[in-house]
Amino acid sequence: MKKISILINTPHLHKRGGVSNHYKGLKGFWKQDVRYHTVGSRHGISGLLWMMPDTLLFVLKLAFIKPDIVLLNPSLQLNALKRDALYLKVSKYLKIPTCIFMHGWEVEVENAIDNKEFNFYEKYKKADAFLVLANDFKLKLKQWGVNAPIYLTTTKVDDKLIENLKISYDKTNKTILFLSRIEENKGILIVLKVFKEILKKHPDAKLKIAGNGGALKKVKRNVSNEQIPNIDFLGNVSGDNLIGAFRESSIYILPTTHGEGMPTSILEAMAFGLPIISRPVGGLVDFFEEDKMGYLLESLQPEEYSEKMIQLLENHEKYKAIGTYNHEYAKEYFMASKVALKIEKQLFELL
């Protein structure tokens, strides 16, 4: 494979969010000549005010760097779609092959496109290819009229997170981990109810809640009012604290109702050998092996989640088998070094 030049539009890499986290994690693993162009809100200034300078700098980079290909990264969110439709128009005017990586997927926006409130095909018909995180997203793009190649990809796990990792499947460890933005649509209130059910049979169980968000105060108030014991609030975690949160836990739970693409926290939990309890959302359904990796539950009833988790807490061999399988699977398919190479190969095919 000859070396190619790729220009990637990304949010500011220090901004919290799935897209910035994705490209921050891939940065050290590219083999091609990859450069980032920052777009959107940063330094407390809205993305709208950055639009003109970002676009002008984008044009200059296209003119002077002359990349072989451009990779744009909207989520299925109206402002992002409108913004990147402009960047697509610019890059195609300059006759540069352009790929669109669709990240998050908002059902409300999907419905708006279905109802012709936003003409997705007209805005994106000149794109040379698409990357998506779920087969359902691929089918929807085709339904909207997309004829360009559509590739399935994934989010990633930073290789450094599990360097020298030795997993200990401690029979006495009954620590549940919720690591995500603390929002109601991520299922945090369900998690509290699930944990209360678990405590009835295992009063020594623990719950770690990692992250920050709009529902944090409400969650803490509920914990205090209901006097739920054995809960630790870790705040936002990264680096050694992130590693510690995973290593000290035995099961990962995310009963999300949010329009997920491919939740990175689930892939990270798998890499650390944790069984997964979540819902069939986004790209999870394309690879998840029920009972072998954990459980994806359609239900939002706390009792159904607690039942599965108690089974794992009380069946050590099952818990260990799932954890071992998840660790090996994540190393094979989700490490940043492999994801970067796969994306480069997919982009190279366009040329």
The stretch 154-176 carries a mean pLDDT of 91
For the cut 80, the answer to whether the pLDDT of residue 348 exceeds it is: yes
Report whether pLDDT(207) > 70.
Answer: yes
What is the percentage of the chain residues whose pLDDT exceeds 90? 88
What's 83-136 look like in SS3? HHHHHHHHHHHCCCCEEEECCCECHHHHHHHHCCCCCHHHHHCCCCEEEECCHH
Per-residue confidence (pLDDT) for residue 104, from 0 to 100: 82
Judge whether 103 and 263 are in contact, CB under 8 Å. Answer: no
Q: Enumerate the domain spans of the chain.
A: 5-156+335-349, 159-333
What residues have CB less than 8 Å from 318, skipping those under 6 apart?
311, 312
Give domain 5-156+335-349's CATH superfamily. Glycogen Phosphorylase B; (3.40.50.2000)
Q: Taking a C-beta distance cutoff of 8 angstroms, is the pair 149, 129 a contact? A: yes
Above pLDDT 70, what percent of the chain? 100
pLDDT for 279 equals 96
Identify the pLDDT of residue 105. Answer: 87
Least confident of 164-168, 267-271, 273-277: 164-168
Query: Which residues, at least 6 apart from 130, have a Cβ–Cβ distance to it below 8 Å?
Result: 99, 100, 101, 102, 138, 141, 146, 148, 149, 150, 151
* pLDDT tier for residue 140 given thresholds of 50, 70 and 90: very high
Q: What is the pLDDT of residue 151?
A: 96
Mean per-residue pLDDT for 63-85? Answer: 94
Work out the pLDDT band at 1, boundaries 50, 70, 90: low
pLDDT value at position 260?
81
Tally of CB atoms within 10 A around 200: 10
Place of tokens 């169980």: 205
pLDDT for 293-323, tens place per residue?
999 999 999 999 999 999 999 999 999 999 9
What's the mean pLDDT in 136-153?
96
pLDDT digits (tens, 9 = 90+) for 212-266: 999 999 999 999 999 999 999 999 999 999 999 999 999 999 999 887 889 999 9
* Whole-number pLDDT of residue 317: 95
Distance CA 172, CA 169 (A): 9
Distances (CA, A) of 213 to 45, 76, 147, 173, 237: 20, 21, 39, 28, 13
- What are the backbone angles phi and psi of residue 271, rounded to the nearest 5°? -60, -30
Question: Residue 110 has what DSSP assignment?
Answer: H
> What pLDDT shows up at residue 342?
95
Range in 24-28, 175-179, 190-194 the model is least confident about = 24-28
Cα distances from 301 to residues 170, 290, 297, in angstroms, run 28, 18, 9
Report the alpha-carbon distance of residue 52 to residue 72 in Å, rounded: 17
CA-to-CA dists, residue 162 to 168, 248, 271, angstroms: 13, 14, 7
User: Cα separation of 75 and 114, whole Å?
Assistant: 16
8 Å CB contact between 237 and 272: no
Distance CA 324, CA 310 (A): 19
The domain covering 159-333 belongs, at the CATH homologous superfamily level, to Glycogen Phosphorylase B; (3.40.50.2000)
pLDDT of residue 325 exceeding 90: yes
- Cβ–Cβ < 8 Å for 330, 267: yes
In tens, the pLDDT along 89-132 reads 999 999 999 999 998 888 899 999 999 999 999 999 999 999 99
The chain-wide mean pLDDT, for the chain, equals 94
Residue 154 has pLDDT above 90, yes or no: yes
